[in-house]
Structure 1
Amino acid sequence: MHTLIRDREITTPDFVFYLDRLIRLVVEHGLGHLPFTEKQIITPTGSIYMGVDFCKKLCGVSIVRSGESMENALRACCKGINIGKILIHRVGDNGQQLIYHKLPMDIAERHVLLLDPVLGTGNSANQAIELLIRKGVPEERIIFLNLISAPERIQCVCKRFSKLKIVTSEIDTGLSEEFRVIPGLGEYGDRYFGTDN
């Protein structure tokens, strides 16, 4: 699937189809890192089965715009999940500007799945994580879900937020001089939403 989504000749419908499959795998793997409790149930045969139950206080937070591509997979895995939004506008290559956020009122009590498909410079991710922490979310309750990461940025984010978990489907070679993930897959949001020319 990584070969297909990285091919510059792939059509937008195929790009979206294979990305959605990858996103679903990342979301499901991320859910496996949530705390759970044991739960006993009775099966249709009348047998007792000892299973598990996930934590109830969970929400997603997508970094607009690319992170929104991950919301459907999260909703498919977690019926009725609350999803917050964070909009961060890029100002040059190094600066970021928080423009907007709308989060669940009780976010400090929840486990948060932070959604952003590409970890390039890490500026947006760092700013979003800082906002969640300022809103009272303990760092160890944040799971950052993405698809492609630059190795030096994973180290940067993890060094800054040592209790955070990152779940990614592939670690690329690195960043170009223009701060683009290499080999990467181009302008993710434009390709996913069909706004590339």
Structure 2
Amino acid sequence: MTMVSQLRIFVPPHPLIKHWLGVSRDANTPSPLFRTAMTELGRWLTYEAARDWLPILETTVTTPLADCPATFVDPEVPIAIVPILRAGLALLEGAQSLLPLASIYHVGFVRNEETLEATCYLNRLPETFTPETRVLITEPMLATGGTMMAAMAELTQRGVDPAMVRIISVVTAPPALQKLAVAYPALKIYAAMIDEGLNNNGYIVPGLGDAGDRTFGT
């Protein structure tokens, strides 16, 4: 029997994720507090995403009293964090605090507001990744899916296995999820919320506004 992969979207029911989502949604939240909310969401969503994803090493340690089994994160298996500029930087600090050994590779995209197509203006990805590399992508919003599709194309061209990729996002919308499910069914996405849809300009509703502008106060 052939097993068919299917994209999975997880919305963890953690009260701290719900709390910081509420803070980030509020239009009255000032930029410094919005940055704090993004950092905390990056931390807690990464925690959830890492549950069955981090490479582990089983070994033995000696306590002050006896030998005992121990489990560590395997330092030999590469881990990469890929923030999607600009807004993906908002989640990076929280993610990096849990994955301090991860390499950080920046990619930047700008969206054409008329066609909604994403164009890459910065690419700091290596030429190749080893197949076992774990990749965590930080992107606060998955709206039309164009930017994430472009980012995934860049990663897979460099040898990344979509089954090893985890995406953390604050708010997502069905159009992006449907597009990614067709192209990359092995993906797993961790989000604070799946919103109802997009407006005529391709923005998530109710969403949280422009995450980049709100993070950097611009």
Fold-level match, TM-score > 0.5? Answer: yes
Greater length-normalized contact order (CA 8 Å, ≥ 6 residues apart): 2
Of the candidates 37, 46, 68, which is equivalent to residue 27 of structure 1?
Answer: 46
Is residue 2:157 matched to residue 1:124?
Answer: no
Is residue 2:120 matched to residue 1:98?
Answer: yes
In structure 2, give the amino acid aligned to 1:157: L
User: Superposition pairs for residues 18-167 of structure 1, below 5 Å?
Assistant: 18-55=37-74, 56-91=77-112, 92-109=114-131, 110-167=133-190
Contact 2:54 2:134 in 1 (8 A): no
Partners of 1:143 and 1:106 lie apart in 2 by 18
Change (3 A) 1:3 1:37: closer
Of the candidates 13, 16, 24, which is equivalent to residue 35 of structure 2?
Answer: 16
Q: Secondary structure in 1 aligned to 2:106?
A: strand
Q: Secondary structure in 2 aligned to 1:66?
A: coil
Consecutive unaligned residues in structure 2, runs of 5 or more = 1-18
In structure 1, give the amino acid aligned to 2:47: E
Contact 1:34 1:54 in 2 (8 A): no
Contact 2:129 2:158 in 1 (8 A): yes
Aligned residues: percent identity? 23
> Which shifted more, 140-149 or 85-94?
85-94
Following TM superposition, by how much is the alpha carbon of 1:40 offset from its aligned partner in structure 2, in angstroms? Answer: 2.7
Q: 1:7-44: per-residue Cα shift (whole Å, max 9, x none)?
A: 11112122222222122101111122314335233253
Following TM superposition, by how much is the alpha carbon of 1:86 offset from its aligned partner in structure 2, in angstroms? Answer: 1.1
Instruction: Normalising by structure 1, report the TM-score.
Output: 0.90
Change (3 A) 1:48 1:158: farther
Contact 2:145 2:176 in 1 (8 A): yes
Aligned CA RMSD, in angstroms, stands at 1.8
Aligned length: 195
Partners of 1:95 and 1:104 lie apart in 2 by 24
Q: Secondary structure in 2 aligned to 1:107?
A: coil
Partners of 2:207 and 2:63 lie apart in 1 by 48
In structure 2, give the amino acid aligned to 1:85: H
